Amino acid sequence: GLVTSFFASSITKAFGRKPSILVGGAAFLLGAALGGTALNLYMLILSRILLGVGIGFANQVLVFSLVYLSLVYLKS
């Protein structure tokens, strides 16, 4: 999660927030699905890595989006 946040910032800067949210959500969804159907330890470890990537993107991108939306809410 922490390492992914550093990479997510450069990806967000290059491509924007929406693709970053989609990538993070897809990684989290794949990690959750793989973790639920894991047949061995290696599949479980891979699912945890994918979940960490998803959380790293979410920590970096969604916090700023929520701040942006809350400022709009406070102004009106």
User: In the Cβ-directed half-sphere of 31, how many Cα atoms lie within 13 Å?
Assistant: 19
Model pLDDT, residue 34: 96
Distance CA 53, CA 47 (A): 10
Q: How far apart are CA 21 and CA 52, in angstroms?
A: 14
Residue 57 in tokens: 């993107």
3-state secondary structure of 43: helix
- Comparing 59 with 14, which gets the higher pLDDT? 14
Question: pLDDT tens across 35-76, in order?
Answer: 999 999 999 999 999 999 999 888 887 777 777 777 666 665
**3-state SS class at 68:** helix
> For the whole model, what pTM was predicted?
0.78
* pLDDT at site 30: 96
